[in-house]
Amino acid sequence: MAKSTERVERVMVVARKDGRDSVNGRFLIFQFTDKDGPLKGVLWQPTEEIEREIKVNDVVRIKGEMKSYQGAFEIHVSSIVKLSEKEYDVEQFIPTSNVEATEMHNEILTIISAIGNEHLRRLLESIFGDEEFMTAFLRSPAARVWHHSCIGGLAQHVRDMAHIAERVAEVYSEVDRDLLMTGVLIHDLGKVRELEVTNRIDYSDQGRLLGHIMLGVELIEDRMRSIEGFPAELSLRLKHMILSHHGSLEHGSPIVPMTIEAILLHYIDNLDAQARGTLQVLEKETPRFGKWTEYVKLLDRFIYRGEEPRGDDGSKGM
Amino acid sequence: MAKSTERVERVMVVARKDGRDSVNGRFLIFQFTDKDGPLKGVLWQPTEEIEREIKVNDVVRIKGEMKSYQGAFEIHVSSIVKLSEKEYDVEQFIPTSNVEATEMHNEILTIISAIGNEHLRRLLESIFGDEEFMTAFLRSPAARVWHHSCIGGLAQHVRDMAHIAERVAEVYSEVDRDLLMTGVLIHDLGKVRELEVTNRIDYSDQGRLLGHIMLGVELIEDRMRSIEGFPAELSLRLKHMILSHHGSLEHGSPIVPMTIEAILLHYIDNLDAQARGTLQVLEKETPRFGKWTEYVKLLDRFIYRGEEPRGDDGSKGM
Amino acid sequence: MAKSTERVERVMVVARKDGRDSVNGRFLIFQFTDKDGPLKGVLWQPTEEIEREIKVNDVVRIKGEMKSYQGAFEIHVSSIVKLSEKEYDVEQFIPTSNVEATEMHNEILTIISAIGNEHLRRLLESIFGDEEFMTAFLRSPAARVWHHSCIGGLAQHVRDMAHIAERVAEVYSEVDRDLLMTGVLIHDLGKVRELEVTNRIDYSDQGRLLGHIMLGVELIEDRMRSIEGFPAELSLRLKHMILSHHGSLEHGSPIVPMTIEAILLHYIDNLDAQARGTLQVLEKETPRFGKWTEYVKLLDRFIYRGEEPRGDDGSKGM
Amino acid sequence: MAKSTERVERVMVVARKDGRDSVNGRFLIFQFTDKDGPLKGVLWQPTEEIEREIKVNDVVRIKGEMKSYQGAFEIHVSSIVKLSEKEYDVEQFIPTSNVEATEMHNEILTIISAIGNEHLRRLLESIFGDEEFMTAFLRSPAARVWHHSCIGGLAQHVRDMAHIAERVAEVYSEVDRDLLMTGVLIHDLGKVRELEVTNRIDYSDQGRLLGHIMLGVELIEDRMRSIEGFPAELSLRLKHMILSHHGSLEHGSPIVPMTIEAILLHYIDNLDAQARGTLQVLEKETPRFGKWTEYVKLLDRFIYRGEEPRGDDGSKGM
Amino acid sequence: MAKSTERVERVMVVARKDGRDSVNGRFLIFQFTDKDGPLKGVLWQPTEEIEREIKVNDVVRIKGEMKSYQGAFEIHVSSIVKLSEKEYDVEQFIPTSNVEATEMHNEILTIISAIGNEHLRRLLESIFGDEEFMTAFLRSPAARVWHHSCIGGLAQHVRDMAHIAERVAEVYSEVDRDLLMTGVLIHDLGKVRELEVTNRIDYSDQGRLLGHIMLGVELIEDRMRSIEGFPAELSLRLKHMILSHHGSLEHGSPIVPMTIEAILLHYIDNLDAQARGTLQVLEKETPRFGKWTEYVKLLDRFIYRGEEPRGDDGSKGM
Amino acid sequence: MAKSTERVERVMVVARKDGRDSVNGRFLIFQFTDKDGPLKGVLWQPTEEIEREIKVNDVVRIKGEMKSYQGAFEIHVSSIVKLSEKEYDVEQFIPTSNVEATEMHNEILTIISAIGNEHLRRLLESIFGDEEFMTAFLRSPAARVWHHSCIGGLAQHVRDMAHIAERVAEVYSEVDRDLLMTGVLIHDLGKVRELEVTNRIDYSDQGRLLGHIMLGVELIEDRMRSIEGFPAELSLRLKHMILSHHGSLEHGSPIVPMTIEAILLHYIDNLDAQARGTLQVLEKETPRFGKWTEYVKLLDRFIYRGEEPRGDDGSKGM
């Protein structure tokens, strides 16, 4: 009845393909991926056609035996066939934010329309009014793994940060609200170029070699130049906000935040990233099997979910 | 015309008093303090009366010569006389938050009244309804130095965090709003015992030896015991929030935050502390002498204030 | 002759149970444990009964195939049956200290009787004279893994530290011997609540969310309150010793040791933990296969055991 | 005969000017600077004219009393007068590299002419052939303090690195020599904008807010765009070298070096900076008073100079 | 057609052998190694002969089934036979530097002959003129893993460093060239004793317990004593260079470099180690499957190899 | 009556002497020292005789004005005269351990006589039986600053550690007592060469460039060679104990402890150093002025001394 291996058939994306030669012949090591994450695969003695035709980013139908070890799985591939674009839907392979793209589009436009500073508003309109860019922006994840790692994740991240930033600008009335809101909207623009969304999410070459901070400054610099009379100091402040938004050198900012708006941007970014990441961990495991989640490597801890709500006192999770 | 030393007379609080013997006789080293911060003092060959009568926390009238070195000052004391309580007003020596105590009192009561969970609301009423405690709470600073280091600073810190937490609970609707708001209100209660406000702000003995995290848990534990039927898991969650609110071991939490509410509490606390600290730096130097503040040791950086606002575009600081 | 998998039958404790759904049906991932440590297990297509009845902490009889990979093992479960309490002896599953409980009980009582300070002696009698608590204390491990991770480990840890502390108090005669000895006896009391010993050793919920330092202070606070006239400063010193005994913030103490007795307690604790941990590593591998132990992950090193003793010069290990 | 204060008269540059009000009137705190480094100054009860007219970067003639404390000095200013540009020579205030500018100019042109890759050579000609830029480059220091902190320091740094890089490219023949040499020439171009050389060396606003890494990429990006057909991958590699040349995140690179040429650039940069910095320390103190230099704060150590050379064996410093 | 396991036969070296007892009988866990790196092995129910006869460092012929998991491999051994020394050639198991030993020997002698300082030259002649030592030196790897981990690796490391050091001594003319070159030649002599080259490369006992820095100082000390009139200060400087060449305490030097020659030695050593290590990574994977290498654990990054050279512009890797 | 400066006359040791030239003439900066610690001094326009005759380590009579600033003092020297050896007693300038040298000598001999292993006992007799060495050993401090920084400090450190080690060897009976005791006696022998005790305590040149760990191994190696038949493995273990006794690389050991005896040695060393250092801080300030000591820089904390003992309950410090 219980079996240690299973014959399976799955449609997945090729994320890596490496070849090795052994004394007993050649084999290929694959990394496949879909919405549920990565899966390793091994194929012994590949045909010439498989060597030549199967490439990274291809969608393939694989058959083989699923083996488990230490709670992880691996497929020993017996057959692998490349599918044409008509045979699959990309949404199968990459998770999508549960917030509607058009809803996010509208929210972002509303935020922009509330910017009083004309230079900043024109800059934002130039960026988010560019349809081609906006389409890419609305599809972009906010990270390869961890928080907001889904189609639409970047827009959701920016939208949630904007809601918090509005309140922050009220609480600290000395802050330049327009500058802070603009910083929220543009701080991660470089992610549109750093991450490539094909049949899976991965870094682009320039993403790895330059990083989204550098790419974001370049992108914004281009837009500001095209706006006549854009004040030099305002440009300096915006570029500083992008450069410093990771908060410290060891987190990848070449410069620490040195304006009140840059400091707030960093803390709001941090708060949303950690909050959304934690909520994704809590949502993932359904139904619940205990009071604690599995070990979360990126946080180096377990998350306590607690006893089932008893509902009699209006509180959640108690 | 220009002089390198000045004869001065000042009324200050004694913060430290140390005695040393040299080959040429005995002298005392003082640390005085008032609203403007600390001032060192030296007195050679003190009389027996001065040795015996002048104590830490006394308010004294000192006369002497003010000497400067490397931008710091020191007073060479020629006369020191202890004042009686009638001769001074404590407000002279400790800065006070510019927010009214009664206003903060009311805001906190309003926040409590919006808590739906009965256990939590009763706990908060038990704490903040205790007049003696509330008086101490409204006078307490949030820190000995850095952010909110003034009478009323703790209440202002909690109030500002509560305003941000309200928005945060809206943005992440999965979060238990009542638990988060309660966490905000109680996370720093231990500061009321950790810091002593006499004629100056300093750590109490138990503040140094136990710390406000431990003192806060002890305080809340006492209150929860006195409420019949307070759920054990709710108690666990609240104590966990206090213990973990510094976010990591190296910042003094013995436990890292492991619930979504504890994680959010930490990031909101951090945001408000850094924001208020930075704003205090920006406010302090008036009138401005340049685009940059002096070096801020606690942040290991200068803060950029920027050019004077030109007022023509509605933005600040540009 | 040589086989890569083995059919086995073992009686173990369920330490974790997670369920996952794959395209080819459902499977369960187990972590089992016994005296020899943890063992992963996989069960494909579980029956409804198995899903419902097998719970964490149950003792089960498992049959299946043992597979090895990279020196680790995993069992592919074909049958799993829950045992009743009569069918097993808990001592099978958790290692027990090789020191007798009654011997340790007596030694601890002897140490207490030598305490001259009446307040401290009455406090210790109140704690260790409480039979229910003493029973739990004598069963408690000192850690989930690493040093003294066995039934009776905590008592052994405290007993060995006490022997060293006696000498330390002689060498540094300025030290308050009674305070130091009391600190040794109580520093880890919170472990009795942090760790749960059922059919295996694991953290309790409050253990994970509050930690043994906090739980220890709470426990001692309760006892001190019940002793009339217990001096406030003595209470402060004892709580400080518990809070600070990990020695630094990054090791989980919210406060660093600031009295000579707290500093000594920390170093004696450290010495015993590292010594016992290392000795356990050296004992574990019998018979010896070489001059070096396997790599010890927690110490990030190998331990040198050396050549066989030659016995001709009275020295060990040379 | 021996005096604790000295009346002095010096011509220096104003590096900072801060005003403070005390109970006994107003005073100014200055930081002056010249080739020998910084000097603090205090001026009590400044006239309105001094308050208004003396600005940062002005060259002034100051008279006053020099006071020493703990080996540092401070001037108590009795008179301060602003000099016009004709009254001083800027070379008085900033140290100049002992290598001739024209010699360095020629060496750099020679290095460029040896670049075989046409794209890279044209890029370098576009940058270093721009007379205005070249003038600024030849004046630029390589750092505000520490190594090469003098007029011409940047060119000397680049020249010395180039000599080492030539050999490195021979030793590791797999390396792209042209790419490495180009990296050496351009890696610090941003310093020309980061540091301002007026009557003293200081950070510009954009230097502080953006840093030389970002400014260097911007500068090179502009030049590459103006060269038709500049290969995209070559551009990526060059920008990556500038971004990553500090070697690690905590040293201010937002990206670690990921090409062999970027890795070599980092280590050559490091070697020259540390070597030149150490040699400057060794040169500074003449004549020698002992075998060890004073404590070098930036290296957290003393440097051993050793016994006087005895000259009989051809070796130095032995 | 595709198979998940393969029957294989290989000749390898035994690197570790551990025995364990399970409820179903005894098994052995092996680590084998050859030029391609390590391979784990498992053997169930070993015969007495296998238990007794197969030892670490033996060359064995193994037959069994090769299993893959997560891209790693393991062999389930069905037969294992020890080979006599005539049946294999050690070069099969350890990689050898592609530079000829005699070529390296000559280069080192040439470097020595250029040393002007007689004491140093005589010291070097005493060391490298000792044939037995020289033979061991020319076989020694420079590391167990990472850079220069091959027979002859140490000599290649020293030779490449010497070429760079020659240029460095020209660029910084204040440096004592003879001292620097001697430092390069002797800094890693201790590796000859730290690493044992039998049928594989491993640490010796004294290598693990004392380390190559200590062993190197001991070795050089012995040689210096045997040279009459070797100047005490020169001896001090040389020992300091060996002790400090790792550059900082956390990298294993008990002392930081405090002479200009010791500082340069450290940076040249670092440069060559990282350069050669990176080049080995880039060479290893042939033919190329993409623009990036596999993840390099020791550098915590991928290395960018880039697009195929197009050859039309004389540059590599573009 | 109160004066800001005092005319004083003191006899002290010259610890540093640096000369500088200013626009107004030359001056010397001194560091003097005696039992109470260091004192800075300044002398304007020194005579040629003073420049030439006053050297580091000289005992001098200085007259001048004592100035205080920020709680530190400095002397403005008006006259400085070198004393001959007859005119002072070295004990005036360096603190001496309050334990008698002959008492320590006897205790060490007693410890040695209890060593059962003949090789070890003969080694120890060879070292401590060498009268010249023993005299130097009994005078040696254990550190330049911090714990045991006095004549006889090293012997006291070793003696106290030995008392603790005896108990440790009883508690962990698996430990080789003779090896541990020998390790205690020899671990810091290198300090005899690292520190120079003339008229003050300072590092020797070899102390700074090689460190006491290296010097200790060299010293012991020499002794072991002179003992025929000293077992190689025992030599390896002893050298390992010296090398690793700082416990970790970042604390200056090039190797971490890898035997049970080396691990214990490290923890006993640590315990005694921290305990004695703290006790010295507590003793220093007499009479007490409060419950807390001054800030202890090396521990980055205040030490709590507590309320005066009330004597009614037999406890100290409560």
Q: Please name the helix (run of DSSP H) or strand (run of DSSP E) that holds residue F14, with its range, or none.
A: strand F5-22
Cβ under 8 Å to A: D residues 57-86: none
Mean pLDDT of the F307-313 span: 50
The pLDDT value recorded for residue F3 is: 52
Nearest-CB residue to C209 (from B206, B213, B236): B236
pLDDT band at E314 (very low <50, low <70, confident <90, very high): very low
List, as one string, the DSSP characters of C30-67.
EEEEETTEEEEEEEES--HHHHHH--TT-EEEEEEEEE
The pLDDT value recorded for residue B287 is: 53
Query: Cα(C170)–Cα(C174) distance, rounded to whole angstroms?
Result: 9
Contact A163 B171 (CB under 8 A): yes
* Cis ω for the linkage preceding C287 (within 30 of 0): yes
Tell me: the pLDDT tens digits for A71-101?
677 888 999 999 999 999 888 888 888 888 9
Nearest-CB residue to B8 (from D24, D65, D69): D24
Angle at A113 (CA atoms; ends A107, A119), nearest 5 degrees: 130
Tell me: the pLDDT tens digits for C59-85?
999 999 888 776 677 888 999 999 999
Query: Cα(D175)–Cα(D168) distance, rounded to whole angstroms?
Result: 9
Q: Is the confidence at residue D281, as pLDDT, over 80?
A: yes
Higher pLDDT, D233 or A287: D233
Least confident residue range of A152-156, A270-274, F284-288: F284-288
* Cis ω for the linkage preceding D287 (within 30 of 0): yes
SS3 C174: coil
Count chain B–chain C contacts defined by CB atoms under 8 A.
Answer: 68
Query: Cα(B188)–Cα(B268) distance, rounded to whole angstroms?
Result: 13
The pLDDT value recorded for residue A314 is: 38
* Cis ω for the linkage preceding B287 (within 30 of 0): yes
Nearest-CB residue to F210 (from E206, E239, E250): E239
Tell me the chain B residues in contact with residue F70 when contact means C-beta distances shorter than 8 Å: 40, 69, 72, 74
State the smallest CA–CA distance between residue B279 and chain D in angstroms.
18
Tell me the chain C residues in contact with residue A3 when contact means C-beta distances shorter than 8 Å: 44-45, 76
State the smallest CA–CA distance between residue C311 and chain B in angstroms.
48
Q: Say whether residue B307 is in contact with chain A using an 8 A CB cutoff.
A: yes
Tell me the chain D residues in contact with residue F19 when contact means C-beta distances shorter than 8 Å: 289
Query: Cα(F97)–Cα(F139) distance, rounded to whole angstroms?
Result: 9
* AA letter at D176: D
Does F have 3 or more CB contacts under 8 Å with D? yes
Q: Say whether residue A291 is in contact with chain C using an 8 A CB cutoff.
A: yes
User: Which stretches of chain C score pLDDT less than 50?
Assistant: 1-2, 310-318
pLDDT band at E286 (very low <50, low <70, confident <90, very high): low
Tell me: the pLDDT tens digits for F11-36?
999 998 888 776 667 888 899 998 87
Query: Cα(D106)–Cα(C205) distance, rounded to whole angstroms?
Result: 73
DSSP H helices in chain C:
48-53, 101-113, 118-128, 131-139, 153-171, 177-186, 191-194, 205-225, 232-244, 260-284
Higher pLDDT, F135 or A8: F135
Cβ neighbors of A285 (< 8 A, separation 6 or more) are A293, A294
Contact E2 A43 (CB under 8 A): yes
Mean pLDDT of the A124-138 span: 96
The pLDDT value recorded for residue A8 is: 84
The pLDDT value recorded for residue E6 is: 72
Tell me: the pLDDT tens digits for B12-44?
999 988 887 766 678 888 999 988 788 889 898
List, as one string, the DSSP characters of chain B.
---SEEEEEEEEEEEEEEEEEETTEEEEEEEEEETTEEEEEEEES--HHHHHH--TT-EEEEEEEEEEETTEEEEEEEEEEEPPGGG--GGGTS-B-SS-HHHHHHHHHHHHHT---HHHHHHHHHHHT-HHHHHHHHH--S-SSSTT-SBTHHHHHHHHHHHHHHHHHHHSTTS-HHHHHHHHHHTTTTHHHHEEESSSEEE-HHHHHHHHHHHHHHHHHHHHHTSTT--HHHHHHHHHHHHHTT-SGGGT-SS---SHHHHHHHHHHHHHHHHHHHHHHHHHS-S--SSBPPPBGGGTB--B--SPP--TTS-S--
Q: Is the confidence at residue F246, as pLDDT, over 90?
A: yes
Angle at D144 (CA atoms; ends D141, D145), nearest 5 degrees: 110
CB environment B255-292: b (16+ within 10 A), e (fewer): bbbbbbbbbbbbbbbbbbbbbbbbbbbbeeeeeeeeeb
Angle at C41 (CA atoms; ends C39, C43), nearest 5 degrees: 165
Contact E67 C4 (CB under 8 A): yes
Nearest-CB residue to E289 (from A17, A24, A44): A17
Query: Cα(D309)–Cα(E233) distance, rounded to whole angstroms?
Result: 11
Q: Is the confidence at residue E3, as pLDDT, over 70?
A: no
Tell me: the pLDDT tens digits for D208-228?
999 999 999 999 999 999 999
| Residue of A224, A255, A265 to mutate, interface with D, max D Cβ within 10 Å | A255
* Cis ω for the linkage preceding B141 (within 30 of 0): no
Q: Is the confidence at residue E210, as pLDDT, over 70?
A: yes
Q: Is the confidence at residue A3, as pLDDT, over 60?
A: no
Q: Is the confidence at residue E312, as pLDDT, over 90?
A: no
Nearest-CB residue to F279 (from C260, C271, C302): C260
Contact E213 F254 (CB under 8 A): yes
Tell me the chain D residues in contact with residue F208 when contact means C-beta distances shorter than 8 Å: 292, 302, 304
* Residues facing F44 on adjacent strands: F27
Least confident residue range of D61-65, D305-309, E125-129: D305-309
Query: Cα(E305)–Cα(E283) distance, rounded to whole angstroms?
Result: 10
The pLDDT value recorded for residue E310 is: 38
Contact B24 F291 (CB under 8 A): no
The pLDDT value recorded for residue A108 is: 96
The pLDDT value recorded for residue E236 is: 97
Distances (CA, A) of E264 to B192, D276, E233: 56, 10, 19
Cβ under 8 Å to C: B residues 255-284: 255, 258
Contact F209 E254 (CB under 8 A): no
The pLDDT value recorded for residue E121 is: 97
pLDDT band at F4 (very low <50, low <70, confident <90, very high): low
Tell me: the pLDDT tens digits for F212-226?
999 999 999 999 999
Q: Virtual CA dihedral for E59, E63, E68, E73, nearest 10 degrees?
A: 0
Contact B168, B175 (CB under 8 A): yes
State the smallest CA–CA distance between residue A133 and chain D in angstroms.
21
pLDDT band at D311 (very low <50, low <70, confident <90, very high): very low
**Chains in contact with E, where contact requires at least 3 CB pairs less than 8 Å apart:** A, C, D, F
The pLDDT value recorded for residue D318 is: 34
Percent helix, strand, coil in chain F, to 5, is 45, 20, 35
Q: Is the confidence at residue A70, as pLDDT, over 70?
A: no
Tell me: the pLDDT tens digits for C227-236?
999 999 999 9
Q: Is the confidence at residue E22, as pLDDT, over 70?
A: no
Tell me: the pLDDT tens digits for B162-177?
999 999 999 999 999 9
The pLDDT value recorded for residue F312 is: 40
| Residue of C122, C271, C296 to mutate, interface with F, max F Cβ within 10 Å | C271
Q: Is the confidence at residue A63, as pLDDT, over 50?
A: yes
Residues, chain B? 318
pLDDT band at E311 (very low <50, low <70, confident <90, very high): very low
Tell me the chain D residues in contact with residue F67 when contact means C-beta distances shorter than 8 Å: 4, 69
Angle at E299 (CA atoms; ends E295, E301), nearest 5 degrees: 40
Q: Say whether residue B49 is in contact with chain D using an 8 A CB cutoff.
A: no
Contact B240 C210 (CB under 8 A): yes
Contact F289 B17 (CB under 8 A): yes
Mean pLDDT of the E59-87 span: 87
Least confident residue range of A64-73, D116-125, F138-147: A64-73
Q: Virtual CA dihedral for E243, E247, E249, E255, nearest 10 degrees?
A: 40
Q: Please state the pTM of the whole predicted model.
A: 0.93
Contact D255 A214 (CB under 8 A): yes
State the smallest CA–CA distance between residue D34 and chain E in angstroms.
27
The pLDDT value recorded for residue E308 is: 62
Mean pLDDT of the F90-108 span: 88
